[in-house]
Amino acid sequence: DIVLTQSPALAVSLEQRATISCKTSQNVDNYGISYMHWYQQKPGQQPKLLIYEGSNLASGIPARFSGSGSGTDFTLTIDPVEADDIATYYCQQSKDYPTFGGGTKLELK
Amino acid sequence: EVQLVESGGGLVQPGRSLKLSCLASGFTFSNYGMNWIRQAPGKGLEWVASISSSSSYIYYADTVKGRFTISRDNAKNTLYLQMTSLRSEDTALYYCARHRGVAPNWFAYWGQGTLVTVSS
């Protein structure tokens, strides 16, 4: 299995930039495509797709969210952070059978 | 509007069986692959199983292989998960989710989930 590692928590101030990292145990790129996706989950809600294939913004997601990276190192950036962005963020790979990172809880500083 | 509504969860004793359903609407169900993804209480997400649009390709996580069976009825717009030999570690909120293509990639639509509790 491909293991995805995220920091458990990140404290950020409103209107500042948040960078959430995800490191994979194996390269998740293939033929120029990064098989890395990002989700937001708020308490009591299902996950919501934010970014697919490394850097593509999902439908209806504000441009404050962006994804970058390649190979084994990926980043989700939220700039600027708004109050509604306080949630847990998961990365997920689909190079092999899908696996998720443990999640990063975004908290207010 | 895409809607996925799970049902069938509940309290079940270890070793027993349970069958979950996911009723889809708002899109052509037979054109999309489907998945079950679970989340234990207070924990992260775990992909469980995937089935392609025509049921030709089926994949399972190692943790459930041989115990769970994913299936679908395109005429009824319904996805199923038959769970047998249930264990306490199967306790989780079970989501159904849609993907594009044959193999699971990203999950653009999720249901609200149905809770399965395995306990004596």
What is residue A83's predicted lDDT score, i.e. its pLDDT?
A: 96
Give the pLDDT confidence of B81-107 residue by residue, as tens digits.
999 999 999 999 999 999 988 888 999
Q: How many Cβ atoms sit within 10 Å of the Cβ of residue A106?
A: 20
Give the pLDDT confidence of A39-79 residue by residue, as tens digits.
999 999 999 999 999 999 999 999 999 999 999 999 999 99
- Nearest CB among A46, A59, A98 relative to B104 is that of A98
The residue in chain B having the minimum alpha-carbon distance to the alpha carbon of residue A54 is B106
B45: left (phi over 0), alpha (psi -120 to 50) or beta: beta
pLDDT (mean) for B62-76: 98
Interchain CB distance below 8 Å, B106 and A37: yes
Q: How many Cβ atoms sit within 10 Å of the Cβ of residue B110?
A: 23
Q: Quote the minimal CA–CA distance from B38 to chain A in Å.
A: 11
What is residue B101's predicted lDDT score, i.e. its pLDDT?
A: 81
Interchain CB distance below 8 Å, A52 and B47: no
Burial degree of A35 (CB within 10 A; 0-12, 13-18, 19+): buried
What is residue A57's predicted lDDT score, i.e. its pLDDT?
A: 98
Where do we find the tokens 């998720």? A100
Whether B45 contacts chain A with CB within 8 A: yes
